[in-house]
Structure 1
């Protein structure tokens, strides 16, 4: 058998079928000549009683000298009990962050992902989570393999969101609907938290054995702690009464009034149904609400209210 050299590689003729030229100096090292004319370097070895072939790479990217050194290294690993071909297959089939997110979204829709209270996440929360997954996580980390993800990768994603690299406007399934991704500290912090939840899900499923999103120092969101004064609440009430005389604004004024009286979120009031309301007990979805007097709305009390 000849020794694989540059001259041999370039002079090897093509045949109707692929064939291998084996090296005479290094047993198991060979040159595969494809019917298309391409050439690649390979090793052949036995593992657990089976013959295995491992492709080092194409000629041009690899030279005979560099391929020979790699062949020696891989055959040395085989002698120690490793199986390079099996490891390469596992790497090729390794789950990516995008694939993990798609599996997570499927379980979200199936009601298998629990929220903070141990209940399936609400539709509005699912929509928000999917928006962050498709808008921030997948664009930055989607192609990365889950098992290769590091704290540095998560930190980079967070910083990209923080400075607005993932800022975008995307169409939604709703007619003329759109999703606006602005980035910033709040989006960065909450997206890292969501990724941490996805990796906890992956850990529970045996996909990873650690959660690299835990312990990441997240930016603080702007905390809104200013409340309207009694005079400002009174002024808002007067404005709502004036607006209520306009039929086109009637629903809007009802929504704003209920938000002020109950402390519910805007989406909770907009999606509120009569089946969620218990007028006889002054409850919304079973949560008691103490309403203030008409003269002032400053004493609004919300006790564990869950709307919609």
Structure 2
């Protein structure tokens, strides 16, 4: 049937024993299907792409039964105009229905892209950024529907209390959209994080003075021997985390991790992921095949070597965890306990690395030497496994390590037992 699809003409269509198809006489490709039940279904018919008789015609239904003929005609005009410009409304609708939500694609990104190309620590941080910040706000939104305004609101919300975290969340989302473009899920160049200015970041520098180092050393010794008195929460005296003996103790590996962090200036994951095979006692080095800055060698001073020699060399990892087949996840709980006991409430565990560097600077060591000890990539002559001129670094590391050891009151140079000598000869 060909007729002008007005309200009067449409109302006059009588359903039969099969569906009735009516085409509009004025707008080519616009039509109506009336089912045997009398239900209306508006549609457009077109040939996608360049068109022509060789291209199969597509029919796409749209709107709702409540659409008036005037509303349906206007929608059909817009869709057919899009076809004239090379569009394919049916394909676009299919793509829209099949589009992944941000939460689903973010998980796909972590598995397919991030895991293969980023360091494990970065992947872990991205996973936290997605779970804690991005997913609660935009997780259920289709990827191709996320707007810059939504991302800007997310950035502002997180940045009100954690500006640096907000910037890292933006970096994560930007990476996800770059990968989405390579998967043809969004147009190339489409990234709703573009144009959002990062919050200004003021790097926090906190160094421990000699008095604070003394308190830290004393607290570590207390924690690994008699234990730190536990202050029971009066609101929950039967908390499952309440120690039975009324004190909190740390094992030798936890204490060693804390001492190695400040004695070497290493990053937390460099110590927690340390394997015994990376320890070179003969040359006094930790030979790390990978780190935040790539392959790296960390110089071991005398006190640091003594800390390593004090540990039982069993298993794969230097710092043991509850699971034998994996490294320790973090040091959050013991550090909170020890820093609170030592009255270092504003000190992060990363500040131990800053303290290592500050002691070297205070001892008159040059910045290039300190940079090389910390493994900074911008150092003029970075550490390499081959051609490693470590003598000046060993002297510098020993100077720093001995100063820290004295300040903390640790007797790392005390005579070793026969068992220690047998396990780790000098």
Does the TM-score normalized on the shorter chain lie above 0.5? yes
Alignment of 1:1-308 (within 5 A): 1=1, 2-6=3-7, 18-34=19-35, 38-47=39-48, 48=51, 49=53, 50-60=56-66, 62-79=67-84, 82-94=87-99, 96-108=101-113, 111-114=115-118, 121-122=119-120, 124-147=121-144, 149-163=146-160, 184-203=162-181, 208-210=187-189, 211-221=191-201, 223-246=203-226, 248-251=249-252, 252-286=254-288, 287-291=297-301, 299=359, 302-304=373-375
Q: Give the deviation of 1:67 after TM superposition.
A: 0.9
Provide the TM-score with structure 2 as the length reference.
0.54
Q: Which has the larger radius of gyration?
A: 2
Given the superposition, is the C-alpha separation of residues 159 and 73 from structure 1 closer, same or farther in structure 2, using an over 3 Å criterion? Answer: same
Measure the CA separation in 2 of the matches of 1:291 and 1:229: 20
CA contact (8 A) 1:44 1:52 kept: yes
Measure the CA separation in 1 of the matches of 2:94 and 2:29: 20
Q: Give the deviation of 1:233 after TM superposition.
A: 1.1
Q: Give the deviation of 1:228 after TM superposition.
A: 0.6
Q: Which has the higher strand share?
A: 1
Measure the CA separation in 2 of the matches of 1:136 and 1:70: 38
Measure the CA separation in 2 of the matches of 1:17 and 1:282: 89
**What is the aligned length?**
277
Measure the CA separation in 1 of the matches of 2:107 and 2:93: 24
Q: Give the deviation of 1:221 after TM superposition.
A: 4.4
1:52-84 CA distance string (max 9 Å, x none): 212231121x21111122223434454565443
Q: Looking at both structures, which has the greater relative contact order when contacts are Cα pairs under 8 Å and sequence separation is at least 6?
A: 2
Moved more, 257-266 or 143-152: 143-152
Structure 2 runs not aligned, ≥5 long: 228-248, 289-296, 305-354, 361-369, 377-426
Structure 1 runs not aligned, ≥5 long: 115-120, 164-182
Q: CA RMSD in A?
A: 3.7
Measure the CA separation in 1 of the matches of 2:200 and 2:70: 54
Given the superposition, is the C-alpha separation of residues 230 and 58 from structure 1 closer, same or farther in structure 2, using an over 3 Å criterion? Answer: same
CA contact (8 A) 1:146 1:208 kept: no
